[in-house]
Amino acid sequence: MKRSFWWGLSSLFLAGPLHAQNLAGAWQGVETDAGDPRYYPAVLRLQGKDSNLLGVLYQEVGSQPNVTVTFQMEGARGGAGLQLKHVRKLNETGGSYSSYWCAGAIAFTYDAALEKLTGRATYRPVGDCDNGTFTFYRVKLKSAATVKAGALSTLRVSGRDVRWFADAELKKPVAEGNSYAARLSKTTTFYLTQGFYPSAEKIVTPVTITVTGKVPVTPPRPTPPTPAPIDTAVAAPPVAATPPAAPAPVVLPTVLFKQGTAELLPESAPALDRLAADLQAAPALRLRIAGHTDRLGEPGKNQVLSEQRAEAVKAYLVKAGVPTSRLDTVGYGDTRPLHPSPDIRNRRVEVEKLP
C-alpha cells in the first residue's frame, strides 16, 4: 500500500472460486508499481474462516524499515470474492507532513499449488496514488505430514527462498529450498522462513512432521573366529608388495555454477583455462570429470544435475582445444558430500587422472 493521508475503508477482493480454501495464516510479500523503482515489503496475517476473517496488514518502505504502517482489517465473503476492510490504523512510524499512504481496493487471485496471492490495487486518486501490484507467498506443508521412522522422506513446502531451521531461535539451519530429504527417528518440528522481501515483521512458520514406528535395528555383525596360532617354525610366504594408491581426485574449488543449474559462473574461467593449458602441455594425460551436489532437493534430480555439471566442464575444455577422447565424465549426485549438509562446498567438480 503506497503512502497517503487518506486511509478510509477499502476492500481486498479475492477473485475466483474460494470455496473449501482456507486462507488463514501469515502471508509474506511485496507491493510494487510499474515504472516506479520503490517497493514496499508487506505481511498479511489472516485468521478465521473465509466467511468471517480478521487480519492485520503491515507494510514498510523498501530500504527504509523505519517507515511503516499497520492496519486492523476484517471482512466476510460477498459477491464475487472476499472483502476485507481497513477498520482502523493501529500504528504508523516514520511519517511526515509531506508523506501519505494510499488506499483503495485490491483484486487478488489465489494459486493453491504455489500458495500465492497476486493482486492488482486501484487506489483512490489522492496525490500520486494510482495503482499497485501485490505478491504474497505462504509457507505450507505440501508433502505427507506423517512419515515412517528411519525412512528417507522428502519433505516439500510452498514459499519463496525457504530456509529450514531446527530451532525457533533460527540458530540451527538444516536446509534451504522447497524440499528437504531426511531420515527422522522421532516427531520433529522445523521452523521455516522466507527470503522473499523480508521485513522487520519477521515470520517464522513451524512445520511438524509426525514419525510413526521405530527405526529398524541392524543386527550386529558376527564376530569372526579367532585364527589358529601360526607355527613360527614354518617360513611365511613372501608378502607381495602393495601397489601404490591411486591419486585422490582433485577438487576445483573455484569452478562454480548458478544454484540449481549447470551454468558455469564467470569466476570459473581462470581455473578451467589453466586446466586446459595443462592438458595441452601433456598430450598423453586423460582425465575423469566428476560432478557433485549438496543434499538439498530430490536425490534423482541431484544425480541428473551432477552429470550435467560434469558435462558443462567437459564442453568448456573441448572448446578450449582439448580432444573429447581425453575426457570422461561421471556424476555422483549427493552421495559423496565432503562437508556436513547444507554446505555450498559440496556443490563441486573434481578431476582425476585416468590410467
Classify 268 as helix, strand or coil.
helix
Same domain, 204 and 322: no
Q: Is residue 245 part of a domain?
A: no
Joined grid coordinates for residue 251: 577438487
Using 50, 70 and 90 to split pLDDT, how confident is the model at 234?
low
Closest CA to 59 of 81, 85, 23, 27: 27
Task: Answer whether residue 73 is part of any domain.
Answer: yes
Distance between CA 127 and CA 140 in Å, rounded?
Answer: 39
Q: Which residue has the higher pLDDT, 82 or 13?
A: 82
Residue 156 has pLDDT above 50, yes or no: yes
Domain housing 195 = 146-212
**pTM of this prediction?**
0.58
In a domain, 332, yes or no: yes
What is the residue type of 265?
L
* pLDDT number for residue 99: 78
- The verdict on 152 and 88 lying in the same domain is no
Does 349 fall in a domain? yes
Say if residue 24 is in the same domain as residue 113.
yes
Q: Where are the alpha helices (DSSP H) in 209-352?
A: 269-281, 299-319
Give the pLDDT band (50/70/90) at residue 98.
confident
Least confident of 70-84, 113-127, 141-155, 199-213: 70-84
Give yes or no for residue 12 having a pLDDT over 60.
no
What are the CA-CA distances from residue 187 to residues 145, 153, 204 (Å)?
A: 10, 13, 19
Q: How many helices (DSSP H) and strands (DSSP E) are in the chain?
A: 2, 20
How high is the pLDDT of residue 19? 46
Here the CATH number for the domain that contains residue 318 is 3.30.1330.60
Please tell me which of 8-17, 68-77, 142-151, 346-355 the model is most confident about, judged by mean pLDDT.
142-151
The verdict on residue 16 lying in a domain is: yes
Instruction: Indicate if the pLDDT at residue 261 is higher than 80.
Output: yes
Indicate whether 108 and 161 sit together in one domain.
no
Handedness of CA 85, 89, 93, 98 (dihedral sign): positive
Do 207 and 320 lie in one domain? The reply is no
Asked which of 192, 212, 232 is the last residue of a domain, the reply is 212
- pLDDT, position 15: 46
**CB-hemisphere CA count at 13 Å for 128?**
8
Please identify, among 212, 239, 270, the residue that sits at the C-terminal boundary of a domain.
212
Are both 108 and 155 inside the same structural domain? no
pLDDT, mean of residues 248-267: 83
180 and 285 in a single domain? The answer is no
Assign residue 57 the CATH number of its domain. 2.40.128
**DSSP classification of residue 264:** B
Cβ atoms of 353 and 287 closer than 8 Å: yes
- Pick from 158, 152, 153, 174: which is nearest to 27 by CA? 158
68 shares its domain with 181: no
Place of cell 522428502: 154
- Same domain (yes/no): 268, 344: yes
Would you state the pLDDT for residue 46?
Answer: 78
Is residue 283 scored above 80 in pLDDT?
Answer: yes
Query: Best-predicted range by mean pLDDT among 180-184, 253-257, 296-300?
Result: 180-184
pLDDT tens for each residue of 65-84: 899 988 787 776 555 456 77
Where does the pLDDT of residue 291 fall: very low under 50, low under 70, confident under 90, or very high at 90 and above?
A: very high
Assigned domain for 196 exists: yes
> C-alpha angle 214/335/309, rounded to 5°?
145
Task: Identify whether residues 172 and 108 lie together within a single domain.
Answer: no
Residue 217 lies in a domain: no
46 and 133 part of one domain: yes
Structural domain includes residue 233: no
Instruction: Please provide the size of the chain in residues.
Output: 355
The CATH number given to whatever domain includes residue 186 is: 2.60.40
Q: Are 290 and 310 in contact (CB under 8 A)?
A: yes
Give the residue from 186, 212, 238 where a domain finishes: 212
Q: Are residues 169 and 86 in the same domain?
A: no
Mean pLDDT of 163-190: 94
Domains contained in the chain, number: 3
